[in-house]
Amino acid sequence: SSLAGTLGLGKLVVLYDSNNISIEGNTDIAFREDVGRRYEAYGWQVLNIADGNDIDAIEAAIEAAKAETTKPSIIIVKNQIGFGCPAKQGKASAHGEPLGAENVLAMKENLGWKTEPAFYVPDEVYTNMNEHLEKGGAKEAAWNELFSAYEKSYPELASEYTKWMSGEIDKEALLNNEELWSFDKEMATRDSSGIMINRLAALIPNFIGGSADLAPSNKTYMAGKGDFSAEDRSGQNLHFGVREHAMAAIANAMYAHGGLKVFCATFFVFSDYM
């Protein structure tokens, strides 16, 4: 499995958990590729950690990854699944089965962890978390102060921003709008869909989307709304290229972030690529 995050502006660092275990047994039964060599072939920086318990080595690797500014980095960390549990450590059963009360107790005793209370959280965790809460609270207060000043200077834009970020739309303009839902003849669904997309684009200012290189075919292009690009951020038509999976990831991320009403499209036969 992998966990990706951005560490530093524009810098991608992936931590790859290499424990050689799947639910059915050792990964060798189905997966024998050299992950490090594959990522080297992609042009990534590849760093290796021999022991996932070596926190200092992991921290040093992350710093080394951040220092490499010309390529993304993957840190391959060797781990033992179920580490610390005498009966389960390094075994597939630690992946697909619960440890059980006896094994949890044995693991705590083996690792020198408090057995009572059942869910013990050290005071250091609370102290560290409270520090982050204070920093986060200060950043939020600074943002609120900034937005308050913006609201006074640009009340109309601030109101529109608030509506966009809350997900509000003018439901009356959509529901009680006979013209929006009116079609005067039968047509292919991609044609009626294209008409609806353009009608919605005229009513929803933060509507944005596109298709994986299929807009002329599945009628997803919004007329007069421009093309989004590095040079023109005001365009509402997104061109993803022949990349259904990337398109779905981008659209889902935009939706999760909020602020924009996003759609994407492809042919039904290509939907499994998403």
Question: Backbone phi, then psi, for 262, in 5-degree steps?
Answer: -115, 145
pLDDT of residue 85: 96
Q: What is the mean pLDDT of the chain?
A: 93
φ, ψ dihedrals at 5, nearest 5°: -155, 160
Q: What is the pLDDT of residues 73-114, one digit of tens each?
A: 999 999 999 999 999 999 999 998 999 999 999 999 999 999
Query: pLDDT tens-digit profile of 193-211?
Result: 999 999 999 999 999 999 9
Overall average pLDDT of the 64-73 stretch: 96
Residue of 68, 102, 168, 244 with catalytic role? 244
Task: Name the one residue in this structure whose structure tokens are 């005067």.
Answer: 184
Pairing of strands 261-265, 207-211: parallel
- Catalytic-residue membership of 156: no
User: Is the pLDDT confidence value at 132 over 50?
Assistant: yes
Bond prior to 117 in cis (omega within 30° of 0):
yes
Give me the pLDDT at residue 18, please.
96
pLDDT in tens, 18-54: 999 999 999 999 999 999 999 999 999 999 999 999 9
Q: Fill in the DSSP letter of residue 230.
A: S
pLDDT of residue 10 exceeding 60, the answer is: no
- Decide if pLDDT at 4 tops 50: no
pLDDT band at 173 (very low <50, low <70, confident <90, very high): confident
Q: Residue 227: its pLDDT value, please?
A: 97
Q: Distance (Å, rounded) from C-alpha 266 to C-alpha 39?
A: 29
> Would you kindly state where each structural domain of the chain is located, as residue ranges?
2-79, 174-273
Task: Say what percent of the chain tops pLDDT 90.
Answer: 90
Segment holding 237, helix H or strand E: strand 237-239
CATH number at 174-273: 3.40.50.970
Token pair recorded at residue 35: 């992950």
Rg (CA), the chain: 26
Q: Is residue 12's pLDDT more than 70?
A: yes
